[in-house]
Every structure is written in structure tokens, then in C-alpha cells.
Amino acid sequence: VNAPGAVDVVRDGDWLVAAWHGEIDMTNAEALQRHTLGSMHNTDSGLTVDLTGVSYIDSVGIRSLLAIRRLLAARQQRLFVIVPERSVLEKALDLGGVPAVIPVYRSMATAREDR
């Protein structure tokens, strides 16, 4: 069973890491976006959204990621996304233009190196 969407936020120095879980659709994308942004500090350098635990995402979730990027860019904060190798999300994210505007990493370790 796929759990409904959920988010765990962890602070890692001056970065926030938000791990999204479950299926992301119109029932929960906005709440995930709000909760994730609400956990950021103005002084944070950036945010990593970890999609490793996500089993489904569609246009609503993709729009949430793009909205987060716009907001952070305006505040000069960075956004990374983690999408593991061979993730089923990859195609929708590609088509939605995510890798074109948000750096995508395969793992937390590689994302951390680039901060």
C-alpha cells in the first residue's frame, strides 16, 4: 500500500532536507509544498527535496517543485532534488522540465558535495 503523501524535514547545517514520501497528487501536493517551505529559515542556503520515497508524482507535484524553485530563487536560496537511479518518476519529471531548471542528484551524498 502506498502511504498518502508525507514529509520529513531534517536540518543539515544551513540546508534543509525535506524527504517527501508516498504518492503526490492533487490531494496533498499543496500541503507538502507549504509544509516544506514553512520549515525553511530565511538564513538557509538551500533546500534539498528528496524524492527517494515517492512512488507517484504528476503535474500537480511537478508544479509544486517548480513553485518552490521560483520562491527560493527570489530569495537567493538554492534547490536540489534527489531522484534515485531508475526511478519511475523520472519520465514525468523530465517531461515536466524539472531537470532543466533544478539540479537533480542520484543520492544525498552527491547532492551534499555540490553545496
Partner 1 sequence: MAFVDETPSWAVSRVNDFLLHFDPGVMATLLIGLLAADGTMTYANAGHMPPLVVDPRGRARLFEEPGEPALGAVSSPRYRDRVLTLDTGSTLILYTDGLVERRGRSLEEGLEALRRAAETPWANLDMLCARLFGTEALEPKLADDLALLSLRIGSSPPAEEIHTTIEADPRELAPLRRLLRSWLARRGADDEQAQGVLVAVCEAAANSIEHAYGPGRGSIEIDAVESEGVFEIAIRDQGAWREPRGIGRGLGSSLMDALMDEVAVHTDEGGTSVTMRIRLRPST
Q: What are the distances in angstroms from CA 29 to CA 35, 44, 114?
A: 10, 23, 27
Residue 44 or 56: the one with the smaller Cβ distance to partner 1 is 56
Q: Is 106 in the site for partner 1 (CB under 8 A)?
A: no
Tell me how far the alpha carbon of residue 66 is from its chain's centroid. 9
Give the phi and the psi of residue 81 in degrees, each rounded to 5.
Answer: -125, 140
Alpha helices in the chain (DSSP H): 29-38, 59-74, 90-95, 98-101, 108-113
Q: Which stretch binds partner 1 (CB under 8 A): 9-17, 24-32, 43-51, 70-78?
A: 24-32
Smallest gap, in angstroms, from Cβ of residue 105 to partner 1?
A: 20
Give the one residue of 89, 102, 105, 111 binding partner 1; rule: CB under 8 A. Answer: 89
Residue 100 sits in the site that holds partner 1 (CB under 8 A)? no
Q: Which stretch binds partner 1 (CB under 8 A): 3-11, 38-46, 69-77, 99-107?
A: 3-11
Are 7 and 36 in contact by the 8 Å Cβ rule? The answer is yes
Query: Rule CB under 8 A: which residues touch partner 1?
Result: 1-6, 22-23, 25-28, 56-60, 62-63, 88-89, 91-92, 95-96
